[in-house]
Amino acid sequence: MTDKVILDVQHLKKYFELGHHHTLKAVDDVSFQIREGETLGLVGESGCGKTTCGRTCLGMYNKTDGTVLYNGKDVHALKGAELFAFKKEAQMIFQDPYASLNPRMTVSDIVAEGLDVHHMTKNKAERTERIYELLNMVGLNKEHANRFIHEFSGGQRQRIGIARALAMEPKFLVLDEPISALDVSIQAQVVNMLIKLQQEMGLTYLFIAHDLSMVKHISERVGVMYLGSLVEITSSGELYSHPLHPYTQALLSAIPIPDPEIEAQRETARIRLEGEVPSPIDPPPGCKFAGRCKYATERCRQESPSLRDMGGGHYVACFAVEG
């Protein structure tokens, strides 16, 4: 990991106009930075905007406001050759390995699609060679190259998706819930592989997930999102030992731990969240968590808190946190 900032997101907003004067604020003023070789985890419940955030960072969605700088260049202003090069360098791995691979293409065509577009291989022999190399890298072998997607299990499909992304020799990868569709024993395989690839190839990850224990395991820093806003961001160790935001505390307390004794002890101290995540369509002013927060005051319902540095790179957006 170096000190060089590879992705700099400042005040990013992504609104979807729904018509009838309704606006869905999927991402609402989010700022973070990712340094080269680092993994930033982004966690939150479904509908909190973490996927939209990841996609907007890659320029897959147009932004509403704010900036996304990749190596100092505005992602949404790239044109021509620069845009072409960016799309090669920044890749995405999708959540659903069943929906994100074309069932009518063979594995080798899926993996090599980007190679062909970017003319990365000189001839057919080299192309085949590269496909085998990539499959080998993700733990598949060359017999798999001519098969179709329906012949593979979920874990293997996810590996194919990863091979497709790696074919582009990327520097920056957005991993959008890459393991949530997989079984526990297969999750560990894929996560081990992702960590190994990162160390070997010096990749930078934006790891989007809702499984907090896995995010803690793979990330150096973790950001917690709630209803389009980043409520807390800090190193993963700090987040789990000293969560400051009431939402983070509740979220951590809701993770079940596979140990009956610890669970029994936690039972009394557990923070239970009432209700569900409110709709991101035309949200009320103020802190978005105020409706479910037990510390909420009048101020929380009027003003929206912004991220404050609590020291040591621990940022939190909450009025109730002292400091």
Partner 1 sequence: MSEPLLQVNNLAVSYHGYAGEVKSVRGVTFDVQRGETLAVVGESGCGKSVTAKTIMRLIQTPPAEIKEGSEVLFDGEDVLKFDKKRLAQYRGGEAAIIFQDALAALNPTMTVGKQICENLLHHSKMSKKEAMEKAVDLLRMVGIPQPERRVKQYPHEFSGGMRQRVMIAIAFANSPKLLIADEPTTALDVTIQAQIMDLIKDWQKEQGASVILITHDLGVVANIARRIVVMYAGKIVERGESGVIFRTPRHPYTNALLEAVPRLDLKNKQVLASIEGTPPDLLNPPAGCPFCTRCKYCMEICCQEEPPVVTFEEGHEASCWLYSLEHPCEDAPFTWEGERK
Which region among 53-61, 79-87, 164-172, 236-244 touches partner 1 (by CB under 8 A)?
236-244
Question: What is the contact mask toward partner 1 in residues 189 to 228, using x (rule: CB under 8 A)?
Answer: x-xx--x--------------x-xxx-xxxxx--------
Closer residue to partner 1 (CB): 120 or 195: 195
Among 11, 242, 270, 299, the residue binding partner 1 under the rule CB under 8 A is 270
Give the residue, chosen from 72, 80, 103, 258, that forms a contact with partner 1 under the rule CB under 8 A.
258
Distance CA 265, CA 61 (A): 45
- Asked if 155 interacts with partner 1 (CB under 8 A), we say yes
Given 17, 65, 151, 183, the residue binding partner 1 (CB under 8 A): 183
CB of 258 to partner 1, least distance (A): 4
44: left (phi over 0), alpha (psi -120 to 50) or beta: left
Name residues contacting partner 1, limited to 27-56 (CB under 8 A). 45-46
For residue 121, the 8-state DSSP code is -
Judged by CB under 8 A, the stretch of 79-87, 114-122, 267-275, 281-289 that binds partner 1 is: 267-275
Kindly give, in sequence order, each residue whose CB lies less than 8 Å from that of residue 217, ignoring residues fewer than 6 positions away.
Answer: 191
Q: Do 107 and 167 contact (CB within 8 A), yes or no?
A: no
For residue 227, the surrounding DSSP H or E stretch is none
Question: What are 28's strand-pairing partners?
Answer: 13
In contact, 210 and 43? CB cutoff 8 Å? yes
Q: Which of 82, 169, 237, 303 contacts partner 1 by CB under 8 A?
A: 237
List % helix, strand, coil for the chain (3-state, nearest 5): 40, 25, 35
Sole window of 15-23, 118-126, 185-193, 307-315 interacting with partner 1 (rule: CB under 8 A):
185-193
Closest CB 266 distance from partner 1, rounded Å? 9
The letter for the amino acid at 169 is E
What residues contact residue 175 under an 8 Å CB cut-off, 6+ apart?
92, 93, 194, 205, 206, 207, 208, 209
**CA–CA gap between residue 256 and residue 272 (Å, rounded):** 13
Contacting range for partner 1; rule: CB under 8 A; set: 67-75, 93-101, 112-120, 180-188: 180-188
By CB under 8 A, tell whether 147 contacts partner 1: no
CB of 114 to partner 1, least distance (A): 27
Among 259, 282, 303, 309, binds partner 1 (CB under 8 A): 259
Evaluate whether 21 touches 173 at the Cβ level (below 8 Å): no
Q: Among 51, 158, 236, 304, indicate the residue that binds partner 1 (CB under 8 A).
A: 236
Indicate which single residue of 80, 260, 311, 323 sits in contact with partner 1 (rule: CB under 8 A).
Answer: 260
Strand pairing class (73-74; 65-70):
antiparallel
Instruction: Count the site residues for partner 1 by CB under 8 A.
Output: 47
What is the spatial distance between Cα 29 and Cα 46, in angstroms, rounded to a whole number? 18
Binding piece for partner 1, criterion CB under 8 A, among 70-78, 103-111, 151-159, 163-171: 151-159
Closest CA to 24 of 188, 256, 305, 227: 227
251 binding partner 1? (CB under 8 A): yes
In the sheet that holds 65-70, the strands lie side by side as 22-35, 5-19, 65-70, 73-74
Minimum distance, C-beta of residue 317 to partner 1, in the bound complex (Å): 19
Residues that bind partner 1 (CB under 8 A): 45-46, 153-156, 183-189, 191-192, 195, 210, 212-214, 216-220, 236-237, 240, 250-251, 254-263, 267, 270, 272-273, 275-277
